[in-house]
Amino acid sequence: MFGLKADWSLEVFERYFTMGDYAGGEARWCPGCGDHAVLTAAQKVLRDEQQRPEMSVCVSGIGCSSRMPHYLGTFGFHGLHGRALPVACGIKARRPELDVWVATGDGDCFSIGTAHWIHALRYNMDMTLMVFDNAIYGLTKAQTSPTSPHGFKTNTHPFGAILEPHNPLTVTLGVTNVSFVAQVADWNPPLLYETLKAAYQHKGTGFVRIIQRCPVYADSFSKELQQNPDRFLLLQHQRGIPVDKSVSRQFPNRTEHDPSDLARAFQLAADSARLPLGLLYHNPDAQCYEDLSSQGVEMTPEKRLEGFNAVLDRITI
Ligand code: SF4
């Protein structure tokens, strides 16, 4: 093509993230563990939202599910038992531009981490809070957790758990400034994906209780639920979690529920005979702590030191 000017410029495509970009180390959860499904759903949400992996951070406490930061190809922080939320809040307070995910379990969040759970909900910082609830301490091999069913046999209660289980949904719904409360089961991938996506897209703390299979130490807990879809009540609404017909027909019990109706959300959450699945409560207008406390986030280290010294000068004798 002599005589014609060739265009040698390279076509540069915008960076596109695939599932592989969100893959971390090889997941070492037991075969059949529900945690695998949650990891995949979270990776799909990140991929579909084209969230930059280097702008996401996954924070966890201690427990089987808390190994998630190792398996997600984002930044991660594997923290102390029950302490995922204060770390996550700290990250969000100083780096509000980061996308924060929290992976915690029923033992981690609803027992040793209770104080952080309650206060983090009130702070309502923009993050996705996934509580993997398998009703047992799995990592330490089968101790009674706050959500173990009454009569459930464990190492610490060989004759069966003495108390009725804690209801994390009613507790969560009762916290001032709570903004997003949903429940889902790990063995329904479309519903799990849509619920995590809605929590991710919500501005505020997206609390998702994930009823999770632990086939090793709490098989009967999830098997009973898996075999009886009648134990669930699917929540449907135009402002709720979008549910395809192929999913909704799996549940014989369905109801219309407006997620802005807190009083009805309480009623639904309190019914232990029929567990609600979907979005119980959503308040998109709840205030986020980081929006109120962002003053000084942009300060340089020198400016901070200057301010710190000014405070010390005031109390110098
Ligand atoms: Fe999952 Fe249970 Fe194995 Fe832990 S012990 S990885 S929760 S199946």
CA of 230 to the centre of ligand 1 (A): 26
| Sequence-ordered alpha helix ranges (H) in 177-300 | 189-201, 219-227, 245-248, 262-270, 289-292
Nearest CA to ligand 1 atom 1: 33
pTM, rounded to two decimals: 0.92
Residue 14 counted as domain residue? no
Domain that holds residue 151: 29-314
Q: Which residue has the higher pLDDT, 311 or 162?
A: 162
- Candidates 64, 139, 155: which one to mutate for ligand 1, based on the most atoms within 8 Å of Cβ? 64
Residue 239 counted as domain residue? yes
Q: In which residue are the tokens 């990592």 written? A: 139
Nearest CA to ligand 1 atom 5: 138
Ligand 1 binding site (Cβ under 6 Å of any ligand atom): 29-30, 33, 35, 64, 134, 138, 214-217
CA of 68 to the centre of ligand 1 (A): 12
Banded pLDDT at 1 (limits 50, 70, 90) = very low
Residue 244 counted as domain residue? yes
Residue 258 counted as domain residue? yes
Nearest CA to ligand 1 atom 2: 214
Q: How many domains does the chain have?
A: 1
Residue 226 counted as domain residue? yes
Residue 18 counted as domain residue? no
Residue 187 counted as domain residue? yes
Q: How far apart are CA 248 and CA 240, in angstroms?
A: 13
What percent of the chain is modeled with pLDDT above 70? Answer: 95
For residue 138, the domain's CATH number is 3.40.50.970
3-state secondary structure of 94: helix
| pLDDT score, position 303 | 86
Residue 5 counted as domain residue? no
Q: How far apart are CA 99 and CA 49, in angstroms?
A: 11
